[in-house]
Amino acid sequence: MARKPGKHYLSAVQQVEAKEYALEEAIPLIKKIKFAKFDETVEVHMRLGVDPKHADQMVRGTVVMPNGLGKSKKVLVIASGDKQREATEAGADFVGGEDMVNKIQSESWTDFDAVIATPDMMRSVGKLGKVLGPRGLMPNPKTGTVTVDVTKAIHEIKAGKVEFRVDKTGIIHAPVGKISFSAEKLVENAATLITAVIKAKPAVAKGKYVKSTTLCSTMGPGVAVDTTPFSVKAAAV
């Protein structure tokens, strides 16, 4: 049986009009109606007009948030030789080779937020698909997490690199910062993500690409956002 929404949530909902807000209006509203006692994550949810069952309609990519995410990600690097030393010097939280692959396989260990692998280790890392895949942690050349430049990859992730990928229902979910961020920083982060998703539109996608965009904090209600200006901006680039 579903729990009834609490009075604080209902009070917040009543302050949200049934319309699409400009991003510069939506962010201050989300900050105003927050009621949780912890520093919530602000998230963007974009419903796209694509069918992810078709490979040529898959929408995915990465973007570095200009103002970070307010939380330093724990990074695991699976590499060999000198690349392990390079990863340690670049600030990776966990570094190893076959030992890390074995640890993940035998213990289902996933106490990290991102995985970077060098190309020579992908034969071994490929065995971890069942553990890392469902968690969205599998290294991939398209997202820059299979690379010989481990220093750059680590620095980007630590700086607030976000990977976005449309799920099987056609929706992208991604964090854009903490509710404690200034409105200006959240607007800049959200705009960066929305623009990146629009630019990633597959050539074969027909009809309306961005069907709806919603912003919310972890506990708060959704606020609809008008992304028309971002579509125009992306088309002009």
pLDDT tens digit sequence for 66-101: 998 887 789 999 999 999 999 999 999 999 999 999
Domain count for the chain, please give it: 2
Domain membership of residue 232 as a residue range? 17-69+161-236
Domain-embedded: residue 196 = yes
9/186: higher pLDDT = 186
Domain-embedded: residue 7 = no
- Pick the last residue of a domain from 159, 193, 216: 159
- Pick the last residue of a domain from 159, 189, 222: 159
CB 223 within 8 A of CB 29: yes
Domain-embedded: residue 169 = yes
Are 116 and 229 within one domain? no
Q: How far is the C-alpha of 5 from the C-alpha of 53, rounded, in Å?
A: 34
Give 3's pLDDT tier (boundaries 50, 70, 90).
low
Q: What sign results for the dihedral spanned by CA atoms 216, 185, 40, 115?
A: positive
Residue 149 token pair: 């430049």
Are 61 and 88 within one domain? no
pLDDT tens digit sequence for 190-231: 999 999 999 999 988 888 999 999 999 999 999 999 998 887
Residue 222 token pair: 């959704």
How much is the pTM?
0.77
Are 52 and 166 within one domain? yes
135/45: higher pLDDT = 45
CATH number of domain containing 213: 3.30.190.20
Domain-embedded: residue 202 = yes
Alpha helices in 42-169 (DSSP H): 82-89, 98-107, 122-125, 129-132, 150-159
Q: How far is the C-alpha of 171 from the C-alpha of 9, rounded, in Å?
A: 24
